[in-house]
Amino acid sequence: MSVESPIRKKLFVSHKDESPRMFKSDFMDFFSRVPFYVPLIVYIPVIAYVTYRSFYNYEIPLLQFGLLALGGIVFWSLTEYFLHRFVFHYHPTSKIGKRIHFIAHGVHHDYPNDSLRLVMPPTLSIPIGIFFYFLFYLILGEALCNPFFVGFNIGYLAYDELHYATHHATWKWGWFQRLKKHHMKHHYQNPDEGFGVSTPIWDHVFGSTFTEEK
């Protein structure tokens, strides 16, 4: 595995919708690009199936299902925040660490309008999803983990699609404009603040919201 882009010593930001080559291997480079609709194709059937299991296999009451699913959505938003802040924005010092960081998230800050690298590749999201399913299974049990996992996946899909939208949609809704402004400030004002993508609430809770307007 080899990244063609060198480790740059100065900040570079492209304002075009361009998709740079990251790997010498055509196979790996192809799978590093993911259209925005791919997570919908992958995870809507997962959500539908786990919802079916919740009601027909485990007979979970509707209210309990709703509360657990809501808990899963909230838990995803917290997971999203910590992944973005402490994993994607971890700054390694080794050469290989910097290359891994570039592959995982650095390329997005260099090419923020690359429409093919705005959602998480299934090669990454599926292992993460499997890990969390079994974590919920251990904590909540065989039955209750299902509606919680439904909410977790709904939260994830909202994150991926909203992330794409903040870079490429022009919706005039007030809440979306505030969300878009929050994420654009993360890119163009201070990348070490404003880590919430689907919601900025955790930035306020954990003190990482923006300290000044520019």
Residues written for the chain: 214
* pLDDT on residue 11: 57
> Which helix (DSSP H) or strand (DSSP E) does residue 16 occupy?
none
Longest dimension (CA), the chain: 57
Please, are residues 157 and 43 in contact by the beta-carbon 8 Å criterion? yes
* pLDDT on residue 201: 94
pLDDT by 10s per residue, the chain, length 214? 444 444 444 456 767 777 788 878 877 878 788 899 999 999 999 999 999 999 999 999 999 999 999 999 999 999 999 999 998 888 878 888 777 777 778 788 888 888 888 899 898 899 999 999 999 999 999 999 999 999 999 999 999 999 999 999 989 999 999 999 999 999 888 889 999 999 999 999 999 998 865 4
Q: Hey, where are the domains in the chain?
A: 34-170
**CA distance linking residue 88 with residue 146, whole number of Å:** 28
